[in-house]
Structure 1
Amino acid sequence: MSAPPKDFASAIEAVREYLTGRADITMRPAHNGHIPLFVLGTGSGLKIAARLGLPAVVGGPLLTAGPEAFDEYRSTFCPSEQLDEPYLIASTEIFVADSPSEARELSLPEAWAMSESRLTGAFPPLEPTTSLPDSLTQRQQRNVAKALAPVIAGTEDQVLSAISELLVRTGADEIMSTASTFDTTALYTSDARLAAAVAATL
């Protein structure tokens, strides 16, 4: 994660050569099909993805920023064997429930774990909301708020409206839901409701 952009770009090139069979070593077993390569658009990732002609996946705090970074990715994109045109995926946690408060509650275990990882350097197991502390330090509050900022949570109508806004703001070609919470049954229900809500708009 601390590698300079030049080394990061070189590593991506090495992986691409490996996947396309042009590296000094080859895959075992051999793979003759097309294996797509995506770049996580954090830090210098978007610029590198544009230069190498690769699709970019953007999530976290960058989703709440202005559109300048996304515009630069598109305007500086260089076509490659994998991709003729820029392709941007906006990745965020999406939760659907009967009320905004219920949906937001589903997002808390992951946000709390993210907050703790920033303080300890280790990502802890997700906990039920009943196990989370009642009061937080100012630093913990900031970290939780930062983790929750890009989250989309609410009823079906609210979530679809927020997704539309995200598409307009980022110009993303695809939305990736990466929701995670302690209650896996509630998560599966949320995902099913999200899928049904999206399908109803198609």
Structure 2
Amino acid sequence: MTRYSILDFAPVLEGSDVSAALARTADLGAYAESLGYHRYWTAEHHGMPGIASAAVSIVLAHVGHATSSIRLGAGGIMLPNHAPLAIAEQFGTLDALFPGRIDLGLGRAPGSDQRVAQALRRTLTGGPDQFPQDVMELQAYFAGDPRLGFTATPGAGADVALWILGSSLYGAQLAAALGLPYAFASHFAPDALDQALAIYRRDFRPSAQLDKPYVMAGYNVVAADTREEAVLIASSMQQTFVKMRTGGAGGPLPRPIPGYVDSLPPQLKAMLDNVLNASSIGTREDVERDLAAFVDRTGADEIVIAAQIHDFEARKRSFAIALEAARVSA
């Protein structure tokens, strides 16, 4: 049976601030747990005024204290920004605080531009080209490999599930080679989805962590009790994608605008249709139909649902409708 999880960007809302965003994130984690979602993930982004989750491990600890059973994880940590030892210590600490609940998704992209990358001062290795070696170094810290000459504390022996994230064929190939679960970012970069999943499944090599392929795919759901409301509240997400794809900075999540998509020129409508290919906007019946088709298309073991909605209560309602729809379509 397909599992369902949540990807939370810890959005800073237009007219609000980071403190409120992080309070909502803990609230959402507890709500997701009460609904029965399998995981709560958040992701590393830097220099983006609309996202409050740059310090992922701290945000996960915050959510961990508000929950008791839901799995918590990074979707993901952009490993080229960090020394693998530091990540082993951070996620080893999370595992000590919340035993058996921690996932660590690893990405190769920097999650920022070159100015932010320089400010992070990650200049000890070759950056993204060093990614496979950094992943294996991280595995060695968690395994307590004696060849390291010292023990990562916390870290060694931690029960942290590693994942490879991606939006291209590269991540699929690496996840298959290392025998790790693979999460594809189809919620914002769907173009290579089918080919990446085929490569991952074809080339997968069993490992100590995983004996057969395991796929998670990202999917946007903006659901409401009426289609008209869903279309309206989805315009916040659509504005964000348009702004980012036309050179704008990742500012606070904007308020919805009635008739937003209809106001766009044809080229931007086409861009939205492409980038939001893995999305459902509508009522429970719409989401039920769309999710079933997406699961049938991908054969995904797990769907991680994103929902960029300005009104927090509407966002919670959307996640509730999404899980209702998923259970009906299962």
TM-score normalised to structure 1 length: 0.83
Distance 1:144 1:11 in 2: 35
The answer to whether the aligner puts 1:67 opposite 2:202 as a matched pair is: no
Which piece of structure 1 moves more, 177-186 or 10-19?
A: 10-19
Distance 2:222 2:199 in 1: 30
Q: How does 1:89-108 map to 2 (within 5 A)?
A: 89-108=216-235
Which piece of structure 1 moves more, 80-89 or 152-161?
A: 152-161
Distance 1:124 1:5 in 2: 26
1:198 is displaced (CA, Å) by 3.4
Show the counterpart of 2:165: 40
1:34 is displaced (CA, Å) by 1.6
TM-score normalised to structure 2 length: 0.53
Which piece of structure 1 moves more, 6-15 or 179-188?
A: 6-15
Q: Deviations over 1:134-191 (max 9, x none)?
A: 8445554444333322211222122112111111111101111121211111001111
Distance 1:79 1:139 in 2: 44
Distance 2:248 2:205 in 1: 36
Show the counterpart of 1:50: 176
The answer to whether the 8 A contact 2:201-2:213 is kept is yes
Q: Specify whether residues 134 and 195 from structure 1 end up closer, same or farther in structure 2 by C-alpha distance, changes over 3 A only.
A: closer
SS of 1:67's partner is helix
Distance 2:191 2:233 in 1: 20
| Paired amino acid for 1:157 | E
Distance 2:227 2:287 in 1: 9
Identify the structure with the greater helix proportion: 1
The answer to whether the 8 A contact 1:117-1:124 is kept is no
1:50 is displaced (CA, Å) by 0.7
Show the counterpart of 1:18: 141
The sequence identity of aligned pairs, in percent, is: 29
Pairwise CA RMSD of aligned residues? Answer: 2.9
The answer to whether the 8 A contact 2:288-2:329 is kept is no
Q: Deviations over 1:70-112 (max 9, x none)?
A: 1221110011111110000011111221233422333221232
How many residues align? The count is: 202
Q: Specify whether residues 15 and 138 from structure 1 end up closer, same or farther in structure 2 by C-alpha distance, changes over 3 A only.
A: farther
Distance 2:154 2:283 in 1: 46
Distance 1:169 1:200 in 2: 18
Q: Specify whether residues 162 and 143 from structure 1 end up closer, same or farther in structure 2 by C-alpha distance, changes over 3 A only.
A: same
| Paired amino acid for 1:76 | D
5+ long unaligned stretches in structure 1: none
Instruction: Tell me: higher relative CO, structure 1 or 2? Use CA pairs within 8 A at least 6 residues apart.
Output: 1
Identify the structure with the greater strand proportion: 2
Q: Deviations over 1:28-80 (max 9, x none)?
A: 33453320111112121111111111111112365465733312211100111
| Paired amino acid for 1:166 | F
| Paired amino acid for 1:32 | G
Q: Specify whether residues 145 and 8 from structure 1 end up closer, same or farther in structure 2 by C-alpha distance, changes over 3 A only.
A: same
Q: Specify whether residues 171 and 122 from structure 1 end up closer, same or farther in structure 2 by C-alpha distance, changes over 3 A only.
A: same
SS of 2:217's partner is strand
| Paired amino acid for 1:9 | P
5+ long unaligned stretches in structure 2: 1-108, 111-125
Show the counterpart of 1:171: 299
Q: Specify whether residues 201 and 137 from structure 1 end up closer, same or farther in structure 2 by C-alpha distance, changes over 3 A only.
A: closer
Show the counterpart of 1:148: 276
1:5 is displaced (CA, Å) by 6.9
